[in-house]
Structure 1
Amino acid sequence: MARNEEKAQSMLNRFVTMKEQESKKPKERRPFLASECRDLSEADRWRQQIMREIGRKVAEIQNEGLGEHRLRDLNDEINKLIREKGHWEKRIVELGGTNYMRYSAKMTDLEGNIVDVPNPGGRGGGYRYFGAAKKLPGVRELFQKPPELRKRRTRYDIYKRIDASYYGYRDDEDGLLEKVEAEAEQIMRAASLADWREMEEIKKEAKRAVKSGEVGSAAKILYEEEEDVVEEERKQREQDEKEKEKEFVVHVPLPDEKEIERMVVEKKKMELLSKYASENLVEEQNEAKAMLNIQR
Structure 2
Amino acid sequence: MARNEEKAQSMLYRFREAKNAELGGSKKLERRPYRISEVTSLAEAEKWRRNVIGEISKKVSKIQDSSLSDFQIRDLNDEINKLMREKYRWEQQIKDLGGVDYRITGPKTFDAQGKEVPGARGYKYFGRAKDLPGVKELFQPQPLTLKEKTRAELYRNIDGDYYGYRDEEDGTLLEFEKEQENIAMAKALEYAEEDEEDSEHGMEVDGQTEKAKSLGTLYVPSQKEVEDYLVKRRKQAIIDRYVS
Q: Normalising by structure 2, what TM-score?
A: 0.48
Q: Normalising by structure 1, what TM-score?
A: 0.41
Higher Rg: 1
